[in-house]
Amino acid sequence: MNRKIPLRTRVALYGLLCVLAIPFVFPTWWMVTSSFKPIADIFSYPPKLFPTNPTFSAYKDVFDGRPFVQQYVNSLYIAALVTAGTMIVSSLAGYAFARIKFRGQNALFLVVLVGLLIPSEVTIVPLFQMFNDLGLVDTHWPLILVPIFGAPSVMATFIMRQFFISLPNELEEAARIDGIGYFGTFWRIALPLAKPALGAVAIFTFLQSWNLYLEPVVYLSSPEMFTLPQALTQYVDSYGGAMWNVQLAAASLTAVPVLVVFVIAQKQFIEGLAHTGLK
Amino acid sequence: MPVSPPTAVADPLKSGSATAGQPPRPPFWTRRRRDQLAGFAFITPQLLGSAVFVLLPIALVFRYSLHEWNVLAGDFSYTGGDNYTQLLDDANLPEVLKSTALFSVGLVVLNLSLALLLAVLLNQKLRGMTVFRTLFFSPVVVSLVAWTIVWGFLLQNNGGINGLLHTVGIDGPNWLRGEGTAMFSVIVVQVFKNVGLNMVLFLAALQGVPKELYEAARVDGAGAWVRFRSITLPLISPTILLTSVITIVGSLQVFAQIAVLTQGGPKLSTTVLVYYLYQQAFQFHHFGYGATLSILLLLIVLALTVLQWQMRKRWVFYES
Amino acid sequence: MMIRRGLATVAAAMSATLVLAACGGEDSKDDKSPVSLRMTVWTANKPHLQLFNDIAAEYMKTHPEVKEIKFDPLPFESYSTALTTQMTGGNAPDLAWVFEKDAADFVSSGALVPLDDTLKQTSGYQYEDLIPSTTKLWKSDDKLYAYPFSTSPFGVFVNRDLLKQAGQQTPDELAKAGKWDWTTVLAEGAEVHRSTGKAGLVIRDFEYKEWSNAATFWGGWKAEPWSADGKTCTFNSTPMVDAMTTLHKGIFEDKAMPGPGETADFFTGDAAMTITQISRASLLENAKFDWDLVPLPAGPAGDYSVIGQAGVGVVKRGGHTKQAKDFLAYFTNPENSAKLAAYFPPPRESQLTAENLAKTNPLLKNEQLESVVVNGVKKGVVKPGHAGQAELAQRVRAGLDPLWTPNANVKGVLDDLCKNISPLLEK
């Protein structure tokens, strides 16, 4: 069915795509390559595409006197917990909003949706007070509990709901007649079908937690409790002069693994996202 | 806060079914009642979370807005509507709202058009499209802090962008220091960071448009633009609406980029509402007034959402 | 670079306010069992910390009532807010470094305890040795609330190679000819930029946002942002307008300085001259060019000098004020003050000599130390600060923005600025 695209158009298309790709790729490229440059070369004008005198010294300094490994572990385990928790909470709620008919359903859905609309700057003060009263400041609990149950999980619930709505209902009806109960239907029938949406939720939630900046800064004060984005801002010398190369090295260390995972799994990643029923 | 354990959800239902089996009384556990219970059980974690971590804080913010709260001095005193009067008298506010509107509109327009353009390009049957798709999407997974810092370098007057423009003979503006260009820069940085998301959603929508429609239109002699306008756009309108909702709401929450790139300047040209709120509350310690601005922000977001919901009903060629 | 600084400050300010909002005060808890002391500092520099730890170890040998002294580095950029966070969050340090710009807020707030009694009573302390001009900022009602352990003057670092390359005279030659003044400096800067493409003069960390660093320029006109009592705006006074007019011309017409949004780092060789504190000399350890350090050039109002200060005080809410005061007296006694002078110019008359400083500042020559440091400390005007600094600084920043455009009406902008900040000053 598809017509062959003429060569000239193809060349033009590729050219256009390449030009368009520059602003998407160059910043990351610059970040990674600059981390191998001596500090004087970072600001050279015009910017250099490749480090002329590559050096690894910045990478050595990343770990020098700072609990960077611990901070990496913190970020990883918090993100993992938040991801798992959000998947449970949002798939349960999303399923109920999509599939089970109950009174107050729409009103409650709207109530939950409010979380989607609230900037975190608005609620962070009362939240901080609550956690402070509970003695949970400078622990990881706020960073785990709020994303799983609070506003950040609402987007996940929304995605799950939309996905379940788009699923055909017959299988579940059949299962329910078989008498495996609501939870059985959900767990054994609906959830396996929802893998693409769950994948998208997982990816999103993980990224969100991994990149969370403001909340850790607000709740955490000991360096060994810090998460990565927060740790990134700590690379300064004694006069507040930024150690740019070290910071870029640390930034690369936090970004590159995620990028690699993304590139390997990009198909699942993007297609999972595309088929979440968000259309 | 505990997640309701799965068994706790399932068990009452089973016992419910058992009760339901006993004649002659009409079964208490009708389908409706069981649905009601199960529905509530399933949404309980989310609902409680919303109550504790969203609604309660909003209520508290409203309470703060009725108080004068100087956190440095430790004063917290009821002032009634004083903060709201101040809101109406605030000479900076019109400019802040203007910046906010400019930012949101600019972001939505640029983001959606670029996303759609990229999606249409990537939807061509050409080899290597996956590679480009990956490239366009990659900023989404890069940390916002790192992304913004790097762009901050590139947008310096003697930075990478102007270096590039210079080589093709253009004298670039001083991006972050001009009132117009600063706003433009902040928008563009944000667009490149997140346009991949909308692009993917559009791509999925485009792939859902039946090919036969295009073939038919082509037979009728419709050109590419006409086909796009009369087939593609209407069929993907639900996606356009959805992405615009997400993007607009997101645009009202953008904050770190502004803090990093322009700190709200030059003058107030990039001081959007969230940033102004932050300054008042956290930098100047006028907490009660900050809370009042939060309430204003909340009302704006709600109004926009309702508006878009109405538009959805009216304009969108839609599903069930 | 301001970029990341913005974010760090934002975050710290946020957390500070939150803790402020959520926490009450804490009572003093002096008691008999051995205590741990903690001092917040903004240096994470290893030799600095090593020195502090050595002094602390020596102190603890003779003071069993203190079992640990910890130096806690907080990030420089967000230091003040992070410190406030800790103080009000029930985690106050026992001792804290304080910036000069925060002195007004700290000294008058009752956050710190007076030190003079303890210091005066400590044998061999030589309290009278402290130079009055260095302690002025840290006193309230004649009580000393913080010890100015670092009084660091601003000077001009010069890349002699670059000046020569541009065919310009070096500052030592100019000084001999009596021409080390702003007119010459701006002319030379412009010429450097014209002939080499590099930057002429950079006011470090100014970046058209941190305007208080521009005090190193307008000091030459004896201009002040506000009156001595802090109540009246003087941004639109004649000296300030003259200074700003010259600055504006230097930036936009002569191109003697990099314009807004342009970066040039002196220490990597991209600028001929830079104004900054002398402590930055350490960045020149591996410099590949011939450099010099000279005092600020004279302005129309004559010679002047500007200093940045850092004080260390005892925090009331830290709880161990008695032990902390005692340790502070030891930390800053003549013997240790001499050690600290390796990195921080001391406030002691007897130690503030070029010979003395030269022992520990191998990068700097005697005459550089004499002209910039010794004279600077004795005559210097401290960078501007005011109670309610954050809001004021932000208003001034926004008010000055229109000035940093090529066709600005200097007087008009400064008049508007005064109109804008007067209500804050009058409060």
Cα C41 to chain center, whole Å?
14
Q: Out of C8, C21, C82, whose CB is closest to A129?
A: C21
Q: How far is CA B132 from CA B129, B192, C17, in A?
A: 5, 14, 45
Mean pLDDT value of segment A92-103: 91
Cα separation, B290 vs C2, whole angstroms? 25
Given an 8 Å threshold on Cβ–Cβ distance, is A39 in contact with C268? yes
pLDDT of C4 strictly over 80: no
A236 CB neighbours in chain C (<8 A) are 44, 75-77
Q: What is the pLDDT of residues A35-47, one digit of tens each?
A: 888 777 776 666 6
Computed over every residue of chain A, the mean pLDDT equals: 83
Mean pLDDT value of segment C286-302: 91
Q: What is the pLDDT of residues B247-293, one digit of tens each?
A: 887 888 887 788 878 888 888 899 999 889 888 877 777 778 988 99
Mean pLDDT value of segment A103-118: 87
pLDDT of C325 strictly over 90: yes
Tell the residue number behind the tokens 């799994």, with chain if given. Answer: A265
Residue C144: both structure tokens together? 């000393």
| Predicted pLDDT at A255 | 85
Neighbours of A177 (CB within 10 A): 8
pLDDT of A61 strictly over 60: yes
Q: How far is CA B147 from CA A25, A56, A243, A248, in A?
A: 11, 22, 17, 11
Q: Work out the minimum CA distance from A160 to partner chain B, whole angstroms.
A: 13
Give C208 or A244, the one with higher predicted confidence: C208
Give C410 or A189, the one with higher predicted confidence: C410
Strand partners, C137: none
| Predicted pLDDT at B161 | 82
pLDDT of C92 strictly over 90: no
Query: Interior CA angle at A158 toward A152 and A163, to 5°?
Result: 140
Burial call B165-189: b when 16+ CB within 10 Å, e when fewer: eeeeeeebbbbbbbbebbbbbbbbb
| Predicted pLDDT at B19 | 46
Residue C21 confidence class, pLDDT cut points 50, 70, 90 = low
What ipTM is given for this predicted complex?
0.85
Using alpha carbons, select from B112, B93, B63, B54 the residue that is nearest to residue B239.
B112
Given an 8 Å threshold on Cβ–Cβ distance, is A214 in contact with B256? yes
C89 CB neighbours in chain A (<8 A) are 137, 221
B29-33, B227-231, C17-21, C126-130: lowest mean pLDDT where? C17-21
| Residues of A (172-231) whose Cβ lies below 8 Å from C | 213-214, 217-219, 221, 230
B256 CB neighbours in chain A (<8 A) are 213-214
Using alpha carbons, select from C96, C134, C95, C68 the residue that is nearest to residue C321.
C95
Given an 8 Å threshold on Cβ–Cβ distance, is B159 in contact with A153? no
| Predicted pLDDT at C422 | 92
Using alpha carbons, select from C65, C55, C64 the residue that is nearest to residue C312.
C55
pLDDT, averaged per 10 consecutive residues of chain B (320 residues), comes to: 41 44 68 86 93 93 86 71 91 93 94 94 86 89 82 82 82 86 94 90 85 84 84 85 82 82 87 88 79 90 82 58
Q: Out of A16, A92, A274, whose CB is closest to B203?
A: A274
- pLDDT over 90 for what percent of chain C? 52
Cα separation, B284 vs B288, whole angstroms? 11
- Under 8 Å CB pairs connecting chains A and B tally to 286
Given an 8 Å threshold on Cβ–Cβ distance, is B156 in contact with C263? yes
Residue C235 confidence class, pLDDT cut points 50, 70, 90 = very high
Computed over every residue of chain C, the mean pLDDT equals: 86
Given an 8 Å threshold on Cβ–Cβ distance, is C394 in contact with B283? yes
Tell the residue number behind the tokens 């493409």, with chain if given. Answer: C197
Q: What is the pLDDT of residues C146-157, one digit of tens each?
A: 999 998 889 999
Give B21 or C374, the one with higher predicted confidence: C374
Q: Work out the minimum CA distance from C296 to partner chain A, whole angstroms.
A: 21
Q: Are C210 and C384 within 8 A, CB to CB?
A: no
DSSP-based three-state secondary structure for B76: strand
Residue C242: both structure tokens together? 């003259």
Backbone φ and ψ for C126, nearest 5 degrees, come out as 55, 60
- Which ranges constitute the DSSP H helices of B22-70? 31-50, 56-65
| Predicted pLDDT at B54 | 93
Mean pLDDT value of segment C324-350: 92
Residue C188 confidence class, pLDDT cut points 50, 70, 90 = very high
Q: How far is CA C173 from CA B244, C180, C292, in A?
A: 65, 9, 12
Residue A88 confidence class, pLDDT cut points 50, 70, 90 = very high
Given an 8 Å threshold on Cβ–Cβ distance, is C270 in contact with A43? yes
Identify the residue among C2, C4, C5, C10 best suited for mutation to test binding to B, counting B beta carbons within 10 A and taking the highest. C10
Q: Out of B177, B278, B281, whose CB is closest to C404?
A: B177
A48 CB neighbours in chain C (<8 A) are none
Q: What is the pLDDT of residues C249-265, one digit of tens each?
A: 999 999 999 998 887 88
pLDDT of C329 strictly over 90: yes
| Predicted pLDDT at B2 | 41
Q: Out of B71, B152, B267, whose CB is closest to C21?
A: B71
| Predicted pLDDT at C13 | 58
Using alpha carbons, select from C351, C378, C226 the residue that is nearest to residue C295.
C378
Given an 8 Å threshold on Cβ–Cβ distance, is A5 in contact with B160? no
Q: Does A8 touch chain B (CB under 8 A)?
A: no
Given an 8 Å threshold on Cβ–Cβ distance, is A137 in contact with C85? no
pLDDT of C415 strictly over 60: yes
Q: What is the pLDDT of residues A180-225, one digit of tens each?
A: 888 888 988 889 988 888 888 888 899 889 888 778 877 887 778 8
Cα separation, B158 vs B148, whole angstroms? 17
| Predicted pLDDT at C108 | 76
Given an 8 Å threshold on Cβ–Cβ distance, is A239 in contact with C76? yes
DSSP-based three-state secondary structure for B23: coil
> How many Cα atoms sit within 13 Å of A118 on the Cβ side?
26
Q: What is the pLDDT of residues A258-268, one digit of tens each?
A: 888 888 877 77
